[in-house]
Amino acid sequence: MKRVPVQQMVLKENDRIAMELRRLFARRGLLALNLISSPGSGKTSLLEQTLQRLPGDIRASVLTGDIATDNDAMRLARFGSARQITTGGSCHLDAKMVESALAEVTAGQLDILFIENVGNLVCPAGFDLGEDAKVVVLSVTEGDDKPLKYPNIFVRSEVMILNKIDLLPHVPFDIDTVYANAQKIHPGIEMIRTSCTTGEGIDHWLAWLRRRLERVRSRPVAS
């Protein structure tokens, strides 16, 4: 037997397309965010709130991924530009799916592209979509030990949205514990508390978006 070195990333093709997307987003001065959470934690609700309350000088669009249905795009289209990606069974979005769906949502002037991944805390973590940052959404009904149970996504996310905080009086969820657990996995990860029902905390999220957008705009663009 002889050993032939290969040294090739298994997801090379995905990574190649993701890098192309990243360059495209950078050229356009666009902030691209990959939103990841388990099903039902409130990604779509957060985006509804975001599209409604985003200041007029920030133009945003959403690519929303689901295994089946275009329910989320229909929900979001009431508030802004949204396009559904139906994965037909796949548990995550990949860069190729984003590339194929992109033309429709980025046609006009755009500042922020939200990519709402398939509801799943596991698989989407491993697939680069060319985003500037991953945003993990966790709701208080899911339990404060989730960062420890799903370290892959928390270690890769720049910010953690703690959603459904209006339900805190009704569930055994401790904010200090979830924060400490998240810091163990990813020292320095930001936490923003929100409720899409009461609107609490959405201002902090919008402020984070503006700061993050400014960071994207101030970075030098490679030719």
Shortest Cβ 133–another protein spacing (Å): 16
Structure token pair of residue 162: 């703690």
Nearer to another protein, 13 or 104 (CB): 13
Indicate if the alpha-carbon torsion angle 130, 116, 38, 148 is positive or negative: positive
Q: In 3D, which of 65, 59, 74 has the Cα closest to residue 95? A: 65
Shortest Cβ 88–another protein spacing (Å): 13
Nearer to another protein, 4 or 68 (CB): 4
Nearer to another protein, 152 or 197 (CB): 152
Nearer to another protein, 113 or 125 (CB): 125
Nearer to another protein, 24 or 123 (CB): 123
Whether residue 66 contacts residue 118, with contact meaning beta carbons closer than 8 Å, is answered with yes
Burial category of 207 from C-beta neighbours within 10 Å (exposed 0-12, middle 13-18, buried 19 and up): exposed
Nearer to another protein, 143 or 151 (CB): 151
Distance in angstroms (rounded) separating the CA atoms of residues 186 and 17: 27
Q: Which stretch of DSSP H or E encloses residue 31?
A: strand 31-37
Q: In 3D, which of 35, 51, 39 has the Cα closest to residue 116? A: 35
Shortest Cβ 59–another protein spacing (Å): 33
Interface positions with another protein (CB under 8 A): 1-13, 90-92, 122-123, 125-126, 148, 151-152, 155, 183-188
Shortest Cβ 170–another protein spacing (Å): 28
Shortest Cβ 183–another protein spacing (Å): 7
Shortest Cβ 37–another protein spacing (Å): 15
Q: Residue 15 contacts by C-beta under 8 Å, 6 or more apart in sequence?
A: 9, 95, 128
Return the bridge partners of 33, or none: 114, 133
